[in-house]
Amino acid sequence: MFPCFPPAPEASSFREPTSREERLAFSVRLVRNSGDLAKAVSIRHAAYARHMPEFAEKLREPETMDSDPGVTVLLAESKLDGTPLGTLRIQSNAHMPLKVEQSVTLPRWLRDRPLAEVSRLGIVGGTTGRLVKTVLIKAAFRHCELDGIEWAIVAARAPLDRQYDQLLFEDLFPEQGFIPMRHGANIPHRVLGFEIDTGHQRWADANHPLF
């Protein structure tokens, strides 16, 4: 059973009125059926295999969580031939605790608030992959806005944690640094958060490339 949400917006949905419109060679949309999910899983496995080959073996097939209530998988694919180019997964805490909560207890001020965890980001390599990642992150941000999410949470290993620093995520456990994730083969990750409501303004104030 796949969740039904409004289609993920195209990149132009995020532009300011004075921005230049660009037509992309790929689209980003929600996974809605087993064929879509197979594409997402293929790019997910390939991306993880480049850096974590042993762990990637566990990602050859869809994970149970991919079709759980409150879980959305985004898929970027070529407009030319439908080739998968990127994917990520968004889990809200509307139906169950976030997966990261299997390994950490979130700060008290985040409890009982609408949260979403972003995970399983995977993209193709090269310049195309960098652009795909940017649009996927924008689509995830917009999805959180539409779903009433207050904070987006990520658990990131080194050196991928730096990309979330650049996106203005803040460390939720600054004194602990990297924390072994019991649900992730005990690989140390930083747990970071991003306040959705203030995201646009903070990116604008920082003259951020994503904005």
CA-based diameter of the chain, in Å? Answer: 47
| Residue 142: pLDDT band with limits 50, 70, 90 | very high
| Residue 19: pLDDT band with limits 50, 70, 90 | low
pTM: 0.86
- When the pLDDT of each residue in the chain is averaged and rounded to a whole number, the result is 89
Q: What is the mean pLDDT of residues 125-129?
A: 90
What is the model's pLDDT at position 12? 40
pLDDT, tens digit (0-9, with 9 covering 90-100), for 65-96: 999 999 999 999 999 999 999 999 999 999 99
Whether residue 32 is predicted with pLDDT greater than 60 in this model: the reply is: yes
What is the model's pLDDT at position 139? 96
Looking at residue 187, its amino acid is: I
| Residue 22: pLDDT band with limits 50, 70, 90 | low
| Residue 186: pLDDT band with limits 50, 70, 90 | confident
Burial class (CB in 10 A: 0-12, 13-18, 19+), 23: exposed
At which residue do the structure tokens 């970027």 appear? Answer: 76
Q: What is the rounded distance in angstroms from the CA atom of residue 205 to the CA atom of residue 153? A: 22
Is the link from the previous residue into 159 a cis peptide, with omega within 30 of 0?
yes
